[in-house]
A and B are shown apart, each in its own frame.
Chain A
Amino acid sequence: EAAVTQSPRSKVAVTGGKVTLSCHQTNNHDYMYWYRQDTGHGLRLIHYSYVADSTEKGDIPDGYKASRPSQENFSLILELASLSQTAVYFCASKGQTNTGQLYFGEGSKLTVL
Chain B
Amino acid sequence: GDSVTQTEGQVALSEEDFLTIHCNYSASGYPTLFWYVQYPGEGPQLLFRASRDKEKGSSRGFEATYDKGTTSFHLRKASVQESDSAVYYCALRRTDTGYQNFYFGKGTSLTVIP
Contacts and interface: CB of A to CB of B under 8 A. Distances in A.
Interface of A: 4, 31, 33, 35, 40-45, 48, 50, 58, 90, 92, 94, 99-102, 104-107
A1 B49 CA distance: 19
A33 B102 CA distance: 10
A31 to B, nearest CB: 6
Nearest to B99: A100
Interface stretch (B52-60, B65-73, B77-85, B104-112): B104-112
26 contacts: A33-B102, A40-B9, A41-B106, A42-B104, A42-B105, A42-B106, A43-B91, A43-B107, A45-B101, A45-B102, A45-B103, A48-B100, A48-B101, A58-B101, A90-B43, A99-B49, A100-B34, A100-B93, A102-B36, A102-B44, A102-B46, A104-B43, A104-B44, A105-B43, A106-B41, A106-B43
Contacts, number: 51
A100 B50 CA distance: 11
A92 B41 CA distance: 16
Contact of A90 (B44, B103, B106): B44
Count class of interface residues, chain B: 20 to 34
Contacts of B93: 100
A104 to B, nearest CB: 3
Contacts of A101: 46, 49
B32 interface: yes
Interface of B: 6, 9, 32, 34, 36, 41-46, 49, 89, 91, 93, 100-107
A107 B39 CA distance: 12
Contact of B107 (A42, A90, A94, A106): A42
A18 B11 CA distance: 38
Contacts of A99: 49
Contacts of A48: 100-101
Contacts of A100: 32, 34, 49, 93, 102
